[in-house]
A and B are shown apart, each in its own frame.
Chain A
Amino acid sequence: MSTLAVHGHGVESHDHDHEHHHDTFITKYIFSQDHKMIAKQFLITGITMAVIAMILSILFRIQLAYPEKTFPLLEVLLGRFAPGGKLSPEFYLSLVTIHGTIMVFFVLTAGLSGTFSNLLIPLQLGARDMASPFLNMLSYWFFFMASVIMLASFFVQKGPASAGWTIYPPLSALPKAMPGSGTGMTLWLISMVLFVASSLMGGINYVSTVLNMRTKGMDLWKMPLTIWAFFLTAILGVLAFPVLVAGVVLLIFDRSFGTSFYLSEIVVQGQVMPYEGGSPILFQHLFWFLGHPEVYIVIMPALGISSEIISTNSRKPIFGYHAMVYSLIGITVLSFIVWGHHMFVTGMNPFLGGVFMITTLIIAVPSAVKTFNYLATLWRGNIRFTPAMLFAIGLVSFFISGGLTGIFLGNAALDINLHDTYFVVAHFHLVMGSAAIFGMLAGVYHWFPKMFGRLMDERLGYLHFWLTFIGAYLVFFPMHFMGLDGVPRRYYAFTEFPSMARWLSVNVFITWAAILSALAQVAFLFNFIYSIFWGKKTTQNPWNSNTLEWTAPVEHMHGNWPGEIPTVYRWPYDYSKPGAEEDFIPQTVPHSQTMSSNLAHDFEDNEAGLAAHNEWVKANPPREEVK
């Protein structure tokens, strides 16, 4: 199948050569169908959204740290949302909601998967482009529209959606219940439907490209872990996102057409409503059926990226490649049957809670395996601290710290007292928030030369890493203890509870740590933008990496490789192989050229190769004595 694909695209590349000169600004930069350009579009939109969501978080952090103070600047900037220079409680909830929505969906799903799946799937598999470049383009533009609509909700009279990023009805279904459940929520829902459409078009494309368009020799077990991660993520997304749409559409019906899917026996502000027979729990099931796979959609690409980066920069093969793949597959399958752990105390049947607890703690096993394998990869490596490598190490650190608290929350009995407290906030911000964003940043630093043909400044990268890394820990670590003291999340102010007053000083500390980390991002943004235009020009393979994308020329072209697509002969992790001349052997080097470093293991399904290898070994007995 893959041979066929190579031929097909070989022909197509000639067509591209002809078209090449007809690129206008619009077809090249705006409605581009080239996967590399689409990847950049996703990345830059994703970064923009991340900056916006980060600013939102700083706004509500200021409120949490200084609940009694007024900041006239806020009124200038936000107008009626901050009367007298102090955020209104409703707008505080809007900020929390939109921060969560943008970060989870627009940054860590579209910004992360969209960028790196688009960039790396064709380049690391040896394909000329995606299976359907046109769908790919649509995928970006649906995402762009979704982003615009989401942000537009800040400009409607009653403000954006504010029922939390999980938008549980009835709160989100009843415009009377809070101002944000009016037009703002309608826009949120429209935006999400577009977003899911975008994500599905992307996902279908990724899956079909991975399955059909691998170059000659690239069987599934020769794919880099990045591709495995993107592939499984896409499958997760294709299966889970439609369920969210179903949930959202029913919510639209409840809001606009008077149905009662999620509503029952409701009295709002003393007024008896006509809804009967629905169940708010139904929405939670539909939401979390996507919502939980979603957190793996967020973290798996980051894990894939860090596998690749850690291996390359430790100059060592990733430890337990098969175990890494199987644990990804295990996570993928299990992630569909753990959603109920978000609902232990929602009134769901307790027996069901018990079942979900079992599946949830099982999913910790593949996650633990991945962590240990990362540590084993670092062990006795020859570690090169590029900024990308530091971010990958930071990811592992966050993944451990945040993952371990998952063992508390996954336990239904312990969740009773921890549910919806700051303990949860700390948990998911470390394990999926910080870890995934570090995966994304690691990816940006690592593949920047591939995207823009230039290198980012390393020392600014170091500064960015340490400030962000330390800042993130300072922000989220203390939150565990607030949660253990029973401090709930999504509280506008702690002033009404004398027992929570003692956390105020901690809140001030956290806010300043958050501001520090936010300012550190200026180092990144400066570095990013400056390097696009004026960075040092890169060589073709700046990291001495094995994977296929570094065999493509630095100058971008339609079809990625001039002439034939390279053929793949080996797995992507032959780093520091004993007997090899260099400490890396690209995937395109056949075993016949590396007789001195071949191992019997390399010829598992290749008898002729094994025979040749054995002959060579006989002819060249090991010369360790000589050394």
Chain B
Amino acid sequence: MAFKNIFKFKTLSTAVAAMLLFATTAVMAQAPAAAPATDGGTSMWISVGYYVLLFVLLATIVGIVGKILRVYDLTSQIQGKKSINWNNVMAVVCILFLVVGLYGAYWEFTEQGTLTLPEAASIHGVKLDNMFMVTFIITVTVFFLTQICLFGFAFKYRGSDKRRAYFYPHNNTIEKIWTVIPAIVLTVLVITGFFTWKTVTNSLDVKGDTPAIDIDITGHQFAWEVRYPGKDGKLGGKDYKLTSSTNIIGVNFQDKHSLDDQSADTIYLPVNKPVRLNIIAQDVIHSVYMPHFRVQINAVPGLPTYFKFTPTITTMEMRAKQDDPKFEYLLYCNKICGGGHYNMQKVVRVVSDAEYRTWVAAQKPYLNDALKKELKMADEPKALGQNKLALNN
């Protein structure tokens, strides 16, 4: 009976193997033949069939192994020997999984851990990274301890008919301890997190600090528009109703601060100077994400958001540190915004103060000739005069 079973499966598997062999040769033969042909339909179906067959073969092998184990089990039962104790097998697999898994986790931490973001390139970023490290050490310790307990207990207390479990319904002291300890640890994390969060999200200038450079960032499908405040250091107002093909972000030129505003293709930031991003979106929600600076805030239509930070490492320094001459800081979208979401980026360069000044002086005014024509700004000299006035102020 048992032999018959195996035999049945043997013939079956031989048949499958033969079919597979045939399919392989067919695919091999087809591959060069199909390459020049424009219609790859048949070759596609052959390779699909090949993979299906492969899976069927795999499933058959699993079935055969299952049957063999069953036969082994039954024969040893007939001969009065012990059959396979699956409970023990599973317990051993649990402990194997624990050992291999722990090593795997360690490998991931050491190998892929090095592929993560480089050191924070901003003042608040360093604080966040330190907090991250503290949280990481706590959680990883708990992770290893609890997983070791989980699979360790599973192995150690694997069942047997000779033994009974220890009736242990509760122990209030232990339960209190493991309620209070996580509570204390979390309280510490919460408090440090809360105060850090408060300082990071405060985008106002504190009295006595160097005033932050205001930069306007407007998101739309699928690009970022950047506007610098110009010589007066103040961004002019905007009104979305003024948006047109020339005035892409709807700057309001009734506001005299807007007259000297500049548009830019790249974001340049002076090192060690506070910067405040004035963020808004036109169509859907986007997110300004600059991971190297540990900066992220959503760009929301109708709701201005801000993020103030101070970059500390120039692009050149970072290139040297990373040993990557092509390294660039990036700003990219991190909130699903449509088909082009995956490619909505802007290069950010952190440079020395002097470089920043020369760069910013070379940027074109937002109020370009086309816009002037459209707004019928005949009184151009007057506008310039206002500009100078603003400068004098």
List chain A positions with a Cβ less than 8 A from chain B.
72-73, 76, 88-90, 93, 163-164, 168, 170-171, 174, 177-178, 263-270, 272, 278-281, 314-323, 345-347, 350, 353-354, 357-358, 361-362, 364-365, 368-369, 371-376, 378-385, 390, 393, 396-397, 400-401, 404-405, 407-408, 411-414, 416-417, 419-421, 458-460, 462-463, 466, 469-470, 473, 477-478, 481, 484-486, 488, 490-494, 496-499, 502-503, 506, 519, 522-523, 573, 575-578, 583
Our pick among B105, B165, B196 for the contact of A382 (Cβ within 8 Å) is: B165
Our pick among A93, A411, A486 for the contact of B289 (Cβ within 8 Å) is: A486
Taking the closest CB of chain B, its distance from the CB of A584, in whole angstroms, is: 10
The 3 A-B residue pairs with the shortest CB-CB distance in the complex, in nearest-first order: A264-B302, A486-B291, A350-B201
- Tell me whether A171 and B326 are in contact (CB under 8 A): no
Taking the closest CB of chain B, its distance from the CB of A501, in whole angstroms, is: 11
- Tell me whether B296 and A416 are in contact (CB under 8 A): yes
Tell me if B29 counts as interface (CB < 8 A to partner A).
no
Nearest A-chain residue to B177, judged by Cβ: A372
- Tell me whether A459 and B69 are in contact (CB under 8 A): yes
Taking the closest CB of chain A, its distance from the CB of B244, in whole angstroms, is: 8
Taking the closest CB of chain B, its distance from the CB of A603, in whole angstroms, is: 15
- Tell me whether A90 and B139 are in contact (CB under 8 A): no
Contacts of A384 on B, CB cut-off 8 Å? 87, 159
Q: How many A-B residue pairs have CB under 8 A?
A: 350
Tell me if B335 counts as interface (CB < 8 A to partner A).
yes
Question: Given A163-B336, A267-B220, A267-B282 in contact, is the A369-B69 Cβ separation under 8 Å?
Answer: no
Taking the closest CB of chain A, its distance from the CB of B31, in whole angstroms, is: 14
Tell me if B23 counts as interface (CB < 8 A to partner A).
no
- Tell me whether B160 and A382 are in contact (CB under 8 A): yes
Our pick among A270, A382, A407 for the contact of B157 (Cβ within 8 Å) is: A382
Question: Given A315-B159, A347-B297, A405-B139 in contact, is the A171-B167 Cβ separation under 8 Å?
Answer: no
Nearest A-chain residue to B220, judged by Cβ: A267
Taking the closest CB of chain B, its distance from the CB of A309, in whole angstroms, is: 13
Our pick among B66, B94, B167 for the contact of A459 (Cβ within 8 Å) is: B66
- Tell me whether B101 and A473 are in contact (CB under 8 A): yes
Contacts of A506 on B, CB cut-off 8 Å? 112
- Tell me whether B240 and A272 are in contact (CB under 8 A): yes
Nearest A-chain residue to B218, judged by Cβ: A267
- Tell me whether A382 and B296 are in contact (CB under 8 A): no
Contacts of A345 on B, CB cut-off 8 Å? 287, 296-298
Question: Given A347-B305, A459-B69, A478-B108 in contact, is the A174-B284 Cβ separation under 8 Å?
Answer: yes
- Tell me whether A466 and B93 are in contact (CB under 8 A): yes
Among the 9-residue stretches B140-148, B258-266, B358-366, B377-385, the one with 4 or more Cβ atoms under 8 Å from chain A is B140-148
User: In the complex, A383→B152 CA distance in Å?
Assistant: 12
Question: Given A171-B284, A458-B86, A459-B66 in contact, is the A375-B301 Cβ separation under 8 Å?
Answer: no
- Tell me whether A72 and B86 are in contact (CB under 8 A): no
Q: A265-B240, A491-B342 are in contact. List 6 more A-B contacts (CB 8 A).
A: A76-B44, A168-B336, A416-B128, A417-B295, A420-B289, A486-B289
Contacts of B190 on A, CB cut-off 8 Å? 357-358, 361, 411
Contacts of B41 on A, CB cut-off 8 Å? 72
Contacts of B291 on A, CB cut-off 8 Å? 417, 485-486
Nearest A-chain residue to B44, judged by Cβ: A72
29 residue pairs A–B, Cβ–Cβ below 8 Å:
A72-B41, A93-B341, A170-B283, A177-B338, A266-B283, A267-B220, A267-B240, A267-B250, A269-B221, A272-B241, A272-B243, A321-B169, A345-B296, A346-B298, A362-B186, A369-B175, A379-B149, A381-B165, A382-B164, A407-B186, A411-B189, A414-B193, A419-B334, A460-B66, A484-B113, A490-B341, A494-B342, A497-B345, A576-B166
Our pick among B104, B113, B302 for the contact of A265 (Cβ within 8 Å) is: B302
- Tell me whether B189 and A421 are in contact (CB under 8 A): no
User: Chain B 103-146, CB within 8 Å of chain A: the 1/0 string?
Assistant: 01100100011011100000001011001100110110011001
Question: Given A357-B197, A400-B143, A400-B146 in contact, is the A280-B342 Cβ separation under 8 Å?
Answer: no
Taking the closest CB of chain A, its distance from the CB of B170, in whole angstroms, is: 5
- Tell me whether A575 and B193 are in contact (CB under 8 A): no
Contacts of A497 on B, CB cut-off 8 Å? 330, 332, 345
Contacts of A375 on B, CB cut-off 8 Å? 146, 149-150, 153
- Tell me whether A317 and B164 are in contact (CB under 8 A): no
Contacts of A498 on B, CB cut-off 8 Å? 326
- Tell me whether B303 and A279 are in contact (CB under 8 A): yes
Our pick among A364, A459, A583 for the contact of B86 (Cβ within 8 Å) is: A459
Nearest A-chain residue to B193, judged by Cβ: A411
Tell me if B22 counts as interface (CB < 8 A to partner A).
no
- Tell me whether A72 and B40 are in contact (CB under 8 A): yes
User: In the complex, A371→B59 CA distance in Å?
Assistant: 36
Our pick among B154, B163, B297 for the contact of A393 (Cβ within 8 Å) is: B154
Nearest A-chain residue to B84, judged by Cβ: A459
User: In the complex, A583→B166 CA distance in Å?
Assistant: 10
- Tell me whether B305 and A319 are in contact (CB under 8 A): no
- Tell me whether A317 and B169 are in contact (CB under 8 A): yes
Tell me if B79 counts as interface (CB < 8 A to partner A).
no
Contacts of B392 on A, CB cut-off 8 Å? none
- Tell me whether A323 and B150 are in contact (CB under 8 A): no
User: In the complex, A232→B298 CA distance in Å?
Assistant: 35
Our pick among B104, B182, B221, B300 for the contact of A346 (Cβ within 8 Å) is: B300
- Tell me whether A319 and B302 are in contact (CB under 8 A): no
Interface centre among B105, B187, B190 (most CB of A within 10 A): B190
- Tell me whether B197 and A413 are in contact (CB under 8 A): yes
User: In the complex, A317→B167 CA distance in Å?
Assistant: 7
Interface residues of B in 327-350 (CB under 8 A from A): 327, 330, 332-343, 345
Question: Given A407-B135, A497-B332 in contact, is the A177-B302 Cβ separation under 8 Å?
Answer: no
Contacts of B200 on A, CB cut-off 8 Å? 413, 416
Contacts of B283 on A, CB cut-off 8 Å? 170, 174, 177, 266-269
- Tell me whether A280 and B334 are in contact (CB under 8 A): no
Contacts of B158 on A, CB cut-off 8 Å? 383, 385
- Tell me whether A484 and B116 are in contact (CB under 8 A): yes
User: In the complex, A490→B292 CA distance in Å?
Assistant: 20
Taking the closest CB of chain B, its distance from the CB of A367, in whole angstroms, is: 9
Tell me if B168 counts as interface (CB < 8 A to partner A).
yes
- Tell me whether A462 and B86 are in contact (CB under 8 A): yes
Tell me if B3 counts as interface (CB < 8 A to partner A).
no
User: In the complex, A314→B150 CA distance in Å?
Assistant: 12
User: In the complex, A364→B292 CA distance in Å?
Assistant: 29
- Tell me whether B339 and A178 are in contact (CB under 8 A): yes
- Tell me whether A382 and B163 are in contact (CB under 8 A): yes
Tell me if B2 counts as interface (CB < 8 A to partner A).
no
